[in-house]
Every structure is written in C-alpha cells, then in structure tokens.
Amino acid sequence: MAEQSYDPNDFLPTAFQQIDTATGRSTTNALKASRLKLSLTTKLKPVPSPDSEDLLAHRVCTDHMIVACWTTQHGWDDPEMVPFAPISLSPTASVLHYSTSCFEGLKVHRGFDDKLRLFRPEYNCARMVASARRVCLPEFNPEELLSLIKKLCEVDGPKWLPKGRHGESLYIRPTLIGSDSSLGFQVPGEALLVILLSYWPASTGPSKGLRLPCSDEDAVRSWPGGTGSAKISGNYAPSLPMQGEARRRGFDQVLWLFGSEGYITEAGSANFFTIWRNYEGKLQLVTPPLTDHLILAGVTRQSILDLAMERFVETARSNYGCEPLEVLEIMLTVSDLQNASRDGSLLSAFVVGTACFMQPVVHVQYGEAGINIPEESVPHVSMMRQWMKDIMFGYEENTWACEVTDE
C-alpha cells in the first residue's frame, strides 16, 4: 500500500466551471450564493417537543431548505430557498439506480453568548467538492456552499435554535444527487443540490461507553483504491447488515477492520483514536492514517489531532498540568490493542465524528476475545472534549469557529 500524505488542499477543486479555451471565459453558470432567491413558507411548522418520537428518529427538518439545479448545458441555476417539502424525481433518476450522490454533515451551535457558530465549515464544503468529483457530480466553489449554509441558518436559526438554548445544535445536511433521467449508466447530465437543517435531539447527559464487535472478513467496508475516503452515499448501505447484527448481539457499532492483519479503520461511521503507553513508557495518541482511501478524513478527527499537537506535545505540563503526548497517525491492528490491554498500557479509546462528537469505547470484541478498555484513565480526552465545546459554543475565541449572524 502506497503511503499518502494528508493535505487539506487535496480537497480543493481545481476548477468549478467549464472554461471555453478560445475565450478563456466560463461557458456555464457557476453556483452563486449571491443569487439566492427566497421563496419562504407561509405555513410555519410547530417545533416538536424534546421527547417527540419523530425528533428522536431524526425525522424533523426545519421550515426551509435550499435547492439548486445543475445541467451540463447551463451549469448551475440560481439557488432557491423554499419551504421544506418532498422532492419530485423521475423513477429513472440516476441517484436511485447508480448511487450518484454525496453529502456532508455539520452542525450549527448556539453559543453561551447567544451567537450561532459553525465549526470549521470550510473543511466540509471543500470535502463535498472532492466527494462530488469522486462520483462525477458537478463541482462548485466551496465558499459558495458555505454562504448558502449560512443563509439557511440565518433564516431558520432564530426559530429552531432560539437564543437562550446555549449548548444546543442543529444538524446541517448538504446533499448533491444525480437527477438525470437516463437509465443508461453514465455521468449524470443533471444534478440537484439540497441543503437541509435537521432538528437534533438535545444531548441527554454524558454518553455511555461504546461496545464494538470487530467486522469479520466477509464484510469489508473499504479497500485501497476504493471510496472509503469520500463521503459518498454508496459507502453506507453495505455496512447495514453487519451493523444490524452487532445491535442484535447487544453491541453499539462495528469496528471495521481491514486485511488479514486486522488493521483498525473506522468505528461505525466515526474515526477511531486510542491512547496507550508505548514500550518506552511514552504516552501516545494514535489514530489510523489517511492512506489508501481507507477512512474518511473527519473534521473532528483532524481537530483532535490539531489540538493534541498544539497543546499536548510541548506545553502539556507547563500549560495544562498533564503528561505530554506523542501524536501518531499510524496503522494499528486490533492485536496491538489486545496486547496493550494485556500489559496494562491501554489507557483510553474513543470515536469521533460530527454526529456522535466524542464517545468513549469501553469494549472491543475480537472473535472470542473481549478487550476491555479503561474509561478515560488519562485526563487528556476530557480536556480535548472541553476545548472542542469551548470553541463550538464561543467560550474560546478560535479561527475554527465561523459566526452566523441571525437576528
């Protein structure tokens, strides 16, 4: 497997528009947030109660959504903010048959100071362009997507995440689908961008530790040269049978392994971290590297790495009164975990993602062998969790927070 270094610029599109080589001018329309048309609803929906069944099932979206159509001939139409409603698709639409679809997931947070903030949204918007490219969907300037996301939060934020609801969030889901009605399998000539805001159940206290069974060799989530690093729809459905089996057996999610060596890749749809002490007694934060397209380059993953590098390597003791960490992006196997558990050097494991945030892992089941993992026997994890929340909710000023102005 070839090594592949990580560079956020990998996500940046090289071109958003078709260029006429003779004139050097674009021949089709680019996506332009400044051209957003507002067609707001006159029938506002009731906000469901916090224990509503629909809310807990993630079935409640806010009053509006943004849609933008694209065709090969004309490029992007003007985006439009419309009442949230079902969409109409030809039964032959490309997305329904060939999975021409990608998406993103991010959150908007209501800060302690009543301001709305996104967390590193440029990262999601750039990744969405990279995902679109992986399935031949149209490209766009990620900054335009970000502007559209902000506009939707501005309009629906005040009602669905009112001031005073400090520490709560809405979930933002931009999706791009191939809407071309040709049954022939080909690059879609028509596409539809939809941006939704989903009403997210408020967190109900500290999360319990996760119990994860390892995937077996008959259920491999991703492969070198495959699509595991892209946030495309096709990566998801195939993991459902194994996930269902895990739940039936009383587990929470699947720990996806790769190869006969049992390399750890992801847990559920989240990135995996562990903290252990190496043979020299050094404390290490370890997560699998972004090689070979095996795992998704998560925003939370990158943020944990960035925070740990910035605060726990040089200045852990002086600034934070705790033991320094080495930060490593290396392939690790479930046997490594097992060995560390046996000799008592396994100190913590956790998964991170936008939806799940940061959840401790307390047990990994590997065939007949159970690996028990101490819950936060080092202070670093809870410190990082707190730092992340501080940035999201405005207690710490940081360039990662992106303010949204809602009146």
| Residues lying near a second copy in the complex (CB under 8 A) | 57-59, 61, 65, 84, 86-92, 95-101, 103, 133-136, 171, 173, 175, 177-178, 181-187, 194, 196, 198, 217-220, 223-227, 232-238, 240-241, 243-244, 269
Nearer to a second copy, 136 or 313 (CB): 136
Measured CA to CA in angstroms, residue 334 lies from 162, 327, 328, 341 at distances of 44, 19, 16, 10
Nearer to a second copy, 142 or 268 (CB): 268
The DSSP symbol for 404 reads: E
Nearer to a second copy, 177 or 327 (CB): 177
Q: Please list the alpha-helical segments (H only) found in 161-265.
A: 240-248
> DSSP readout, 308-354?
HHHHTSSSHHHHHSS---EEEE---BHHHHHHHHHTT-EEEEEEEET
User: C-beta of 205: minimal distance to a second copy in Å?
Assistant: 19
Query: What residues have CB less than 8 Å from 16, skipping those under 6 apart?
Result: 30, 31, 129, 139, 140, 141
Alpha-carbon distance of 242 to 117, in angstroms, equals 36
201, 56 in Cβ contact below 8 A?
Answer: yes
Reference 272, options 280, 263, 259; nearest CA is 263
User: C-beta of 314: minimal distance to a second copy in Å?
Assistant: 37
User: C-beta of 207: minimal distance to a second copy in Å?
Assistant: 16
36, 78 in Cβ contact below 8 A?
Answer: yes
Nearer to a second copy, 181 or 382 (CB): 181
Nearer to a second copy, 85 or 313 (CB): 85
Write the single-letter amino acid at 323: E
CA atoms within 13 A on the CB side of 175: 16
The DSSP symbol for 391 reads: H
Alpha-carbon distance of 324 to 320, in angstroms, equals 10
Q: What are phi and psi of 389, to 5 degrees?
A: -65, -40
User: C-beta of 213: minimal distance to a second copy in Å?
Assistant: 15
User: C-beta of 190: minimal distance to a second copy in Å?
Assistant: 11
User: C-beta of 182: minimal distance to a second copy in Å?
Assistant: 5
Nearer to a second copy, 90 or 405 (CB): 90
Nearer to a second copy, 167 or 241 (CB): 241
The DSSP symbol for 45 reads: P
Nearer to a second copy, 70 or 103 (CB): 103
Nearer to a second copy, 37 or 317 (CB): 37
The count of residues in the chain is 407
How far is CA 245 from its chain centroid? Answer: 24
User: C-beta of 170: minimal distance to a second copy in Å?
Assistant: 12
User: C-beta of 113: minimal distance to a second copy in Å?
Assistant: 29
Alpha-carbon distance of 373 to 327, in angstroms, equals 20
User: C-beta of 403: minimal distance to a second copy in Å?
Assistant: 25
